[in-house]
């Protein structure tokens, strides 16, 4: 294989969680080629190394099978959502999908993980993500600054509560773009939150 590039493949946001069909798996296997390394990441994406010049063709082929393809590396990962066990409507599937469309694959100073939980049980571990959305009845709460890696871990802190659906995507994208514009080098998002303060971020997201 000549020059290669990594792509991130995900199953899309759906009831039941990160589900792949046998056809999708077979397609991934056939389209990336027999030499490709496929990695299961901790953030619900499969990474595959593919020939650079075939990247766009492979992306199109996979998208035809309802798979989503994003850049790998220093970007926002696709939304790490829960399984929507309370049902599409109650757990806010449409909101999660809109959020995923808005945030997945934005270049960022460090890889960003954005979480979504359809209720306060939070089985998708929202407090361990850089930014997380938790649906509370008819509104949404946003948490920021979760850090599960290393020995100095921290839980995300509540930034905003009671956000209506129409304000959700603008609030989260504003946080991402503010981070992009003001991070110091490769400053981790949790450190960025501590440095700029929750109060400042509330103004940005509000
Ligand atoms: S966060 Fe709530 S709605 Fe989502 S899978 Fe967990 S329990 Fe179900």
Q: Which of 118, 124, 133, 140 to mutate to test the pocket of ligand 1 (most atoms within 8 A of CB)?
A: 118
Angle among Cα 111, 89, 144 to the nearest 5 degrees reads 30
Q: Are residues 195 and 96 in the same domain?
A: yes
DSSP3 helix / strand / coil % (the chain, rounded to 5): 35, 25, 40
Q: Are residues 32 and 127 in the same domain?
A: no
The atom of ligand 1 lying closest to the CA of 83 is 5
Which of 72, 89, 116 is the last residue in one of the domains? Answer: 72
Q: Are residues 117 and 56 in the same domain?
A: no
Ligand 1: distance of its center to the CA of 124 in Å? 7
Q: Are residues 94 and 196 in the same domain?
A: yes
**Exposure string over 173-202, b if 16+ CB within 10 A, otherwise e:** bbbbebbeeebeeeebbbebbeebeeeebe
Q: Are residues 110 and 16 in the same domain?
A: no
Which of 49, 72, 95 is the last residue in one of the domains? Answer: 72
Q: Are residues 58 and 126 in the same domain?
A: no
142 sits in which H/E element: strand 139-144
Ligand 1: distance of its center to the CA of 50 in Å? 35
Q: Are residues 201 and 126 in the same domain?
A: yes
Q: Which 8-state DSSP code applies to residue 52?
A: G
Ligand 1: distance of its center to the CA of 84 in Å? 5
Domain residues for the domain of 201 are 80-205
- Whether the CA torsion 32, 35, 40, 41 is positive or negative: it is negative
Q: Are residues 47 and 104 in the same domain?
A: no
The atom of ligand 1 lying closest to the CA of 119 is 2
Separation between Cα atoms, residue 179 and residue 110, nearest integer Å? 10
Predicted confidence pLDDT, tens digits, the chain (206 residues): 579 999 999 999 999 999 999 999 999 999 998 888 899 999 999 999 999 999 999 999 999 999 999 999 999 999 999 999 999 999 999 999 999 999 999 999 999 999 999 999 999 999 999 999 999 999 999 999 999 999 989 999 999 999 999 999 999 999 999 999 999 999 999 999 999 999 999 999 98
Count of the separate structural domains present in the chain: 2
Residue 173: which CATH number? 3.30.413.10
Length of the chain (residues):
206
Q: Are residues 46 and 116 in the same domain?
A: no
């Amino acid at each position: 294989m000549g020059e290669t590039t990594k792509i991130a493949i995900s199953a899309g946001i759906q009831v039941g969680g990160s589900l792949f069909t046998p056809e999708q798996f077979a397609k991934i296997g056939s389209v990336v080629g027999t030499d490709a390394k496929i990695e299961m990441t901790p953030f619900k994406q499969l990474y595959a190394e593919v020939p650079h010049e075939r990247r766009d063709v492979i992306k199109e082929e996979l998208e035809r099978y309802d798979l989503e393809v994003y850049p790998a590396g220093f970007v926002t990962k696709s939304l790490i959502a829960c399984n929507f066990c309370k049902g599409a409507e109650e757990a806010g599937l449409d909101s999660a999908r809109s959020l995923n469309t808005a945030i997945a694959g934005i270049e960022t100073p460090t890889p960003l993980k954005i979480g979504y939980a359809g209720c306060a049980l939070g089985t998708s571990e929202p407090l361990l993500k850089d930014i997380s959305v938790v649906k509370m009845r008819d509104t949404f709460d946003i948490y920021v600054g979760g850090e599960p890696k290393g020995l100095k871990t921290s839980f995300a802190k509540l930034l905003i509560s009671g956000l209506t659906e129409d304000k959700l995507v603008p609030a989260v994208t504003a946080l991402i773009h503010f981070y992009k514009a003001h991070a110091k080098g490769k400053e981790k998002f949790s450190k960025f939150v501590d440095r700029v303060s929750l109060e400042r971020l509330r103004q940005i997201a509000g």
